[in-house]
Structure 1
Amino acid sequence: MFRKLRNPSNLKAGSTDTEAWVGFSGRAAQIARVHQEGLDDVPSKGRKPVRYAQRVLLGDTEAERQALLDTVFNHISASLL
């Protein structure tokens, strides 16, 4: 349903000295946010707003978070030795 969101033209990335991020840009960002959070949006010009069902496009599970933390911990531990 949202295959086109992963096109490079819809993605933007950036970083600072303390963080890095990846996100959507333009209209794709608005569409992704509406579906991620289940918000109201106007499907086309002149139409009534519609409440879209929440569809989690981005997110992680507790197991994925734990695996990420384990990877970061192992990397930091190895660099300290």
Structure 2
Amino acid sequence: MDQARAALGFAARRSAHPRGPRHAPGSSLFVSDAQEALRASHRESFFAEMVDPMVARAKVLEVPIAQVVARIRQLDEGDRT
């Protein structure tokens, strides 16, 4: 090993493979951040496209929001059994 690689220590040995390292250091953190950002975007879209119109429609029909929530909880409990 030349002196430059020896000075870098373990990191240089880890990336010494002829095709380079399998992944860039910290890339899994970047992927995790990107996945969370995508999930957050999907959650926002879900509420904007599904929940908000449902609540607006319930108000027009004078269905109490508590009743809507109770129905959602009932459906959720049904999924668990």
TM-score over 0.5 for the alignment? no
Give 1 or 2: higher strand fraction: 1
* Structure having the higher Rg: 2
Which has the larger share of helix?
A: 2
